[in-house]
Amino acid sequence: MDLTNKTVIKDLLKKYGGTAEKKFGQHFILSKKALAKMIAAAEIKKGDTIVEIGPGLGTLTQELAKSGVKITAIEKDPIMAAILNETLKDFKNVKIIKADARQLSILRINSGKKYKIVANLPYNIATFLIHQWLESKNPPKTMVLMIQKEVARRIVAKPPRMNLLAVSVQFYAGVKIIDYVKKGSFWPQPKVDSAIIEIIPNPPATPARTWRAGKNAAFFAVVKAGFSQPRKQLLGNLAKKLSLSKEQLISIFKNINISEKARAENLSLDQWRSLTFQLNPKLYFRRTLGAILDWPPPKAGQNRESECAEPQERGDMFRRK
């Protein structure tokens, strides 16, 4: 059964009384080339476990299952789940779970084991799921995802085109675009092109994993303040949102080589980390997030090991390059 054939797709939907539901963001892939690129990017090896979100008719699922590895396919639409029972009946290595991926814990699915996510994600929930997986206690080894082209380009952006989404994903992972997929490669045809993106979460020893949740929250509080009005200068945004004077911020900017005229989009991930570190706790963090940031930093020669469970983390996180 060729699930990239439009006639086959329509016949299956008719048989089960289904349609391509806009509310589920359903657009069925017709490009075998795009499927092959996703499979290649996932670098599937013997012993891997693959989680697929929104398998739809099972087009990508079939290609994944041919590798012989364990596949868990999570489908919310009950009609699609019924169709999957037919299209995947010959694959004993596939488990179908009828559930909403937004409300399903990966830990419950995989019991803490290592896994990869390979999926043609519904456009309307893609960024939510990416954040959810990256912030999980057990993030995937790799994610190979089909998402909207413009969303993918925002995720991989670098200065001077940085954005809040890029910072929030790159804080946790390395990212790159594998290829672009034209909108005509789907049925029904969406309004925009897509992209295949690879997201590889950072190893456990990196700052995003070793920092306590509260410290991560502080980092993102600074980033969100900086991007509160993206077209305006960073200096004014931080002064307004963090209740700091521009004079104090200018001094901090000079310490970490940030221009007074810079916008949030001009800063690299390392500069955002350094900026968070340099902000004076007496003016902001002590009043709001100081307790969970272990502020103020220890004085020269002072041993904080007995006071702080993670005495080396701050230095690792903000080491300048």
Give residue 216's pLDDT band: very low, low, confident or very high (50, 70, 90).
confident
- Kindly state the average pLDDT of the residues 101-121: 83
> Do both 109 and 72 map to the same domain?
yes
The average pLDDT across 44-67 equals 96
Residue 318: name the closest of 207, 218, 238, 220 by CA: 207
pLDDT digits (tens, 9 = 90+) for 238-268: 999 988 899 999 999 999 999 999 999 999 9
- Does one domain contain both 73 and 155? yes
25 in a structural domain? yes
Q: What is the pLDDT of residue 281?
A: 52
The alpha carbon of residue 31 and the mean position of all alpha carbons in its chain are separated, in whole angstroms, by 24
Q: Is the pLDDT of residue 321 over 50?
A: no
Tokens of 308: 């702080």
Q: Are residues 162 and 239 in the same domain?
A: no
Locate tokens 């931080």: which residue?
238
- Could you give the CA distance from residue 287 to residue 197 in angstroms, rounded to a whole number? 40
Phi-psi region of 157 (alpha: psi -120 to 50; beta: other; left: phi over 0): beta
In this structure, the answer to whether residues 267 and 288 fall within a common structural domain is: yes
Is pLDDT of 62 > 50?
Answer: yes
**Would you say residue 166 lies in a domain?**
yes
> Do both 191 and 216 map to the same domain?
no
Domain of 265, in residue numbers: 209-317
Least confident of 50-64, 207-221, 232-246, 302-316: 302-316
Q: What is the mean pLDDT of residues 78-87?
A: 97
Beta-carbon neighbour count of residue 219 at 10 Å? 24
Q: Mean of the pLDDT values across residues 79-97? A: 97
End of a domain among 139, 174, 202? 202
Cα 252 to Cα 266: distance, rounded to the nearest angstrom: 16
Domain end marker among 181, 202, 223: 202
pLDDT digit string (tens) for 184-197? 999 999 999 999 99
230, 84: one domain: no
Say which CATH number the domain at 261 has. Answer: 1.10.8.100
Could you read off the pLDDT of 155-165 as tens digits, one per residue? 999 999 999 99
- The predicted pLDDT at position 195 comes to 98
pLDDT in tens, 5-54: 999 999 999 999 998 887 777 899 999 999 999 999 999 999 999 999 99
- Per-residue model confidence (pLDDT) at position 297: 39
| pLDDT for residue 204 | 72
Whole-number pLDDT of residue 280: 52
pLDDT of residue 211: 55
Q: 166 and 252 share a domain?
A: no
Residue 160 is part of a domain; what is its CATH number? 3.40.50.150
Q: Are residues 254 and 138 in the same domain?
A: no
Same domain, 145 and 237: no
Rounded to the nearest integer, the mean pLDDT of the chain is 85
Last residue of a domain, one of 186, 202, 218: 202
Q: Does residue 45 sit in the same domain as residue 185?
A: yes
Q: Does any domain span residue 1?
A: no
Does residue 225 sit within a domain? yes
Domain count for the chain: 2
Residue 272 lies in a domain: yes
Domain assignment present for residue 255? The answer is yes
Answer yes or no: is pLDDT of 77 > 80.
Answer: yes
Return the pLDDT at 309: 28
* Structural domain contains residue 264: yes
Residue 297 shares a structural domain with residue 157: no
Same domain, 95 and 218: no
